[in-house]
Every structure is written in C-alpha cells, then in structure tokens.
Amino acid sequence: MVGCSADGNLNEEKYTQPLPWIGLYVAAASLVCAVAMAADLIHGIRHRKFWFPSRFFSINATSLTIIAVAVKFSVDLNTPMPSRVDQLSKLSSAVLLCVTIANSMPSLGTAKNKEIMMNIMAFAILVVAVFVNIAIQLGTGVIYICWWEHVVLMSLMLVMLMILGSSALAVVTTKTELEFKYKKKCDMTMQEGLKDINTRTPGELKEDLMKFWIMAHTSNPQFVMARSVTSTASGALCLLSATVLADAMLRSFYMPGSFKFCVGESDYKWSTTLVLIAQTVAVGVGTVAPAVRWFTSVFYRLPKNGKKSNRGTYFKVEKYWIQYLVEIKECPFIHIESQQLRKLAYKAKRSFLDTCIQAQIGIVMACKLVQCICILCACRIVRVYDSCCKLKRLLPSNGTSVDQGLETNKIDLSHFVLHLEGEEELVEVTMRKNCTATDHWMRKGKKKQPKHLTDLLKMATFTEGFKGVAEFDSDQVCRLEGTRDVLERLVEAGKERLANFKSTYLTQCPKVSPSEWPAEALAANSIYRISNTILHIYHHNSSTSEESLFGTLVVLISDILAASLTNLRPFVFGKCLKSTIEEKKASVREAVYLLGQMEEIVELLDQSSLSIVYSDKITTIADWRSLH
C-alpha cells in the first residue's frame, strides 16, 4: 500500500522500484553524448579537420542538461553502490564530465559574446555540484573504492573548468583582433590586383580565392580556440582522466586482488551495467578529439631544422589573454551618490579584477608549462625518429627523388596566414598542410558543372556583344501602363495565390520605379515584353519557320543569361567579403565551389570583348542595352 503501513510507519517498499529505469535514462543520456562526440569526430576526419570543430557537441542549454543527466550517479548521495560495476560507474561519471569539458572547448569560438559567460556559469554550477557531491560521498563511504582516483578526477575537473573559463575570456578579444586583420588583408589584396576582377583568368581567380581561404581558415574562431595553449592543456588532462578510468577498470577486472568490493546489488540493479558500458564508450570516443588536438598542437610547435625555441618568449603571456579583463577594469563603475562609497566600490572593483588578471596569467602560464613538458617529451621521440631516418639515408638506394622542385611552383601565401601573438609556427604548418583545400573544393565544383546551361550559353552571340539583349525588348511593343496590368494578367491566369498579393501591391507599385517592383511583377512584365517582341518579329516575316523561331528564342535567352553572368566574378568575391568571422570559411568554401562549377562558363564569357572592355561599367541588363 502507498502511504502508511498497518503499524503507522511510512511504507518505503516502492521507493526504489523506478531506479533501474532512471539508470536506463542515465545510460541513454550518456549514449547521446557519445553519439554527438562521435559525430564531431567523424565530421572532422571526413573533412580532414583534425582540430575537430564542435559542430554537434557544443556548450548550450541542451547539452548541459544532457550532461547533467549523464553524470547522475556522481551526485547520488545515499543510494548504496556496493558492487564492482556500481563503484566503477561512479568513477566513469566523473571521467565523462572531464571529457565533455575538453570536447566542448572549441564551441566557445562560435558562441555569441552574451551567451559565453552564461554557459560557462551554468557549466561551473554543474561541475561544483559534482565536486561537492563526490566529496560528500567519499566522506560518508558511499564511494569506498578508487579513493585516490576520485581525488585526482575532482582536481582535474576543477582545473579544466578554470581552463574553460580562461579560454572564454580570450574569445572576444581574439575575434576582434582577427576580424580586423582579415579586413586589413582584404584591403591589401584588393589593392594588389583584384580591382579588375572581370579581367582575371580562372587560374588567377583560383589564386585569389586561395588567399581568402587561408585567411578564413586561420581566423576561424573554432580553429583559433582548438589550437590555443589552453586547448592543448585541456586535451592532455582529458587524456589523463581517461587513463585513470582505464587503469581502474583493467585492475578491477584483471587484477581482482587490487580492489576489495562489497557483496550485494544496488537499487539500480541491471541498469548500472548499461550505464558503465555507455559511459565507457562515451569516454573512449570523446577522448580522441582532445587527444589529437593536443598531439597536433605539440608537434607543430616543435623546433624545426635544429632551431632552438626561445623559452623566454614562450612563457610570455600574450596581451589578448587579459585584454578583456583590462578593458572591464578601465570601464567606469556604476554611479553612486556617496563619494566615500563610490571610492570604496571603485577600489574593490579594481582589486577584484587585479586578482582575476593574476589568476588568468597563472592559468595561462600553467597551460604553457603543461605544453612545454609535452614538447620536451615529444622532442625525444622526434630525435629518435630523425636518427632512424638518417640511418636509412645512409643505405644504398636505387630510387631517385622525383619530388624535388615541385614546391617551387606554389605561390607564397604565408602573408595571408592570420595568427595571434605567439603563434608564428602556425604560418609554416598552414603552408605545409592547408593549401590543398581550395583544390579539393574546386574539383568538387567541377564535378557538378551545369552542362545544360553551358550548352545553352554556347549559342550566345559573344562576338557581337550579346545583341539579343538589345533585341528582346522591342520599342514597337506597347508598354504596359503599370504594374496594375501585370497583376491583373497574373490573376486572370488563374494563380489564386497572388490574390492577396494583388490587393497589397495594386496601389503601391505605380508609385515606385520598376527596379523596386516585386519579383512576381517584374517576371510577368518581362515575359509579356519578350513574348510580344518575338511574336512581332514572327508576324513581320511570315516565311519564318517554327524551327527558326525557336532558334531565335534560344539565342535571345542565351544572350540574356550570358550578359547576366558577366557579373559572376564580382559575385564570387562578394561572398568572401560579406560575412561574419564565424561564417567566413563557409562563405569562401561556397565561393571556391561555385568557381569550380562555373569555370567553363567563365571561359565562355571571356569570348565577349565588350565584357572585358566595359567590365567596370556594365552592371545591369539596361547597361548592356545602352551599348547597342
């Protein structure tokens, strides 16, 4: 019975019955985390983005809620967890939290400035709650095994939270700095030769787009965050936390004598095993991306060609790490009437921000120290590898070097690599690994070339300056008095969906110029005039056959399309210039893809001498008609 028993005591028999289903809920949330992190991993590998941007697993309200459900076992204070699987599931929940922090770090780059701090505060509340609950369980004995492992994980999650907050403070400054550099480089590029866009060959256009690609790639906020020293340290700590779980699981299963577990079963029953399996999978999948970021960042910072790095400048904290805090410190404080209270509040504010600045410097220095230790260890491995390569070169070989001199044909794009202070190594790495991305998207675009459109454009009168543009709109065809007639014809054609449109624009359209007419009105007007022009030509020459009439129609359409597409080059470059810093890489990629699609069409359009001579003056169909 629900409520009191026969003796008056509270009946608690059914209190624990839903717990296995709650455990299943926790396992499902853990699997969702695993799937999202796996999706980011697959996306990065598929697109050769080995810094693994956070496309599916990022810091937002949804992901934080799922993470909170997934780590439920870590905050369960009073449910007995006696068996081996029970205790390991407690440990795996703590490790999963560390892994999610490391995986979500690049997503700070694409978050809006107002959202970043709110998400960090929400994450901090979750981490502190887990930390306190684990500490309570260690004290009460709910967690009685893997004591030191939990202490290490508690320390790691706090350190990783501080690293996450430190990274968030630099996001606003780095975005502003890189966007300024992007605009400056764009202006420089335009001055170097992009003013005559319409006269450039497809090969030159490709080189120009490579410059924009390099700038967009290296200024991508997620890439900036992923290559930062804080991301490197976070990846190393994430790998360490996964190692702690792997060590505990291996020792508990294969070295039974190392742990002494209690006998019994938790109230979660069979669901505990599912939770452990799901979280182990999530930890395994989620560790890959941070570990690869750590590995890549360490190896691209290795001294090249025997050069020794300047350790004095390496441990210098760059300005952009503390710039945001310094700006807040210099901002005026809220107005307080009392002069003494205002002075006290001002001093308290400056003291607090000075403490935050020192803490930020300390966190960045600690991350640099972690990275430096990793670099020193990697140097030993690289030296052994280089020694093996030197021994291999001493052996006789019949092969000849065919790659020598291939690099000389590559254009120098090093000036277009946008990097922050202390990232000078990025220039060489980008030149070595990233220039092929433009070729890749060009090839994909060429595979999707519009064959039918190309065949149609081949019928255009290129050598005659697209004379069909002048012929399609004959002055002998009576002009419509206004948009009223166009709308009435559309309604008469049976298009019921335009009824509301007619009532709205019937009185407005005559008051504005045709260029400001709605698209439906412009289309109807064009159809009316083109059709009547062709019919007018046909009626004046009764001997014209239907095949000849159709050929005339094809040439007219081809000329109109060709004249319109002469603005293709400015359109392609416009996509590179008109976008936010978060969207620049996608915009440049679309521009490269479009150029690959339209390469043959661009070559066709270059056959028209008028399109080259008047490239800066011709922007509309009316401009083309004025030339004839």
Q: What is the DSSP string of 14-29?
A: TTTTTHHHHHHHHHHH
Query: Distance (Å, rounded) from C-alpha 245 to C-alpha 70?
Result: 16
Confidence of residue 553 (pLDDT cuts 50, 70, 90): confident
Residue 575 CA, distance from chain mean position: 17
Tokens of 195: 């003013």
Q: Is 70 exceeded by the pLDDT of residue 529?
A: no
Residues in contact with 273: Cβ distance below 8 Å, sequence separation at least 6, in sequence order: 85
Question: In the 8-state DSSP scheme, what is residue 515?
Answer: G
pLDDT band at 501; cut points 50, 70, 90: very low
Please answer whether residues 117 and 125 qualify as being in contact, where contact means their C-beta atoms are separated by less than 8 angstroms.
no
Q: Decide: 57 and 63 in contact? Cβ < 8 Å.
A: yes
Q: How confident is the model at residue 73 (pLDDT cuts 50, 70, 90)?
A: very high
Q: Is 302 left (phi over 0), alpha (psi -120 to 50) or beta?
A: beta
Average pLDDT for 124-138: 94
What's the whole-model pTM score? Answer: 0.80
Phi-psi region of 8 (alpha: psi -120 to 50; beta: other; left: phi over 0): left
Both tokens of residue 255? Answer: 């070295």
Residue pair 297/231 in contact (Cβ under 8 Å)? The answer is: yes
Beta strand residue intervals within 279-409, DSSP E:
none
Tally of residues, the chain: 628
Q: Helix crossing, 229-254 with 84-104: angle to 10°?
A: 170
Q: 16-25, 128-137, 406-415: which has the minimum mean pLDDT?
A: 406-415
Q: Which residue has the higher pLDDT, 240 or 448?
A: 240
**Using 50, 70 and 90 to split pLDDT, how confident is the model at 138?**
very high
Neighbours of 301 (CB within 10 A): 24
Per cent of the chain over pLDDT 70 is 73
Residue with tokens 């109807």: 524
Over the stretch 598-617, which tens digit does the pLDDT of each residue have? 888 887 777 665 555 445 55
Cα separation, 144 vs 259, in Å, equals: 10
Where do we find the tokens 């492992």?
149
Other Cβ atoms less than 10 A from the Cβ of 358: the count is: 12
